[in-house]
């Protein structure tokens, strides 16, 4: 990971704080083009939209595939405050986004949340490993561990 990656991960964490402030689960995603310019952001909308597929990364993929060609997306990087879940990894695969960078791992997230029957522990690298299209993955980001965890502190203590 380089300084651009850290900067864009911080932006994704900031979007996650916005999601939390809007009453949603604290997850955020940022799409960056090949020139390292932010071209889209999306937050989680599961609660406010009453849509279990309203994860930040899936919301971002929906917007991205409407605005950009698969060739453009192949040169983009999706930055996520937390490792994309299996559903989001599938959406990323089908969008043809070429790279994913995340701050907090799925395993660390579930350690924060605690046991739940809603968990589907399937790291995004495993999902992408079953694809014939290569997706580069970087994460977690130890340098941002405290920041990535902070957005979740106290949120999961009450049912949502």
Is 57 a residue of the active site? Answer: yes
DSSP letter string over the chain?
--HHHHHHHHHHHHHHHHHHHTTS-S-EEEEE-TTS-EEEEEE--TTTTT-TT--HHHHHHHHHHHHS-HHHHHT-EEEEEE---HHHHHHHHHHT--EEEEEE-HHHHHHHH---TT-----HHHHHHT-SS--EEE---GGGHHHHHHTTTTGGGS--
Candidate list 3, 43, 49, 57, residue with the active-site label? 57
* Residues recognised as catalytic: 57
């Amino acid at each position: 990971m380089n300084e651009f990656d850290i900067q864009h991960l911080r932006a994704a964490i900031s979007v996650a704080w916005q999601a939390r402030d809007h009453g949603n689960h604290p997850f955020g995603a940022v799409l960056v083009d090949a020139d390292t310019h932010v071209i889209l952001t999306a937050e989680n909308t599961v609660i406010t939209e009453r849509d279990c597929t309203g994860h930040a990364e899936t919301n971002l993929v929906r917007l991205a595939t409407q605005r950009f060609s698969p060739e453009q997306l192949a040169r983009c990087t999706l930055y996520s405050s937390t490792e994309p879940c299996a559903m989001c990894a599938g959406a990323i695969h089908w969008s043809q986004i070429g790279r994913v960078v995340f701050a907090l791992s799925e395993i660390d997230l579930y350690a924060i949340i605690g046991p739940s029957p809603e968990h589907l522990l399937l790291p995004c690298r495993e999902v992408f490993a079953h694809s014939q299209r290569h997706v580069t993955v970087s994460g977690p980001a130890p340098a941002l561990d405290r920041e990535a965890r902070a957005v979740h502190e106290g949120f999961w203590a009450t049912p949502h």
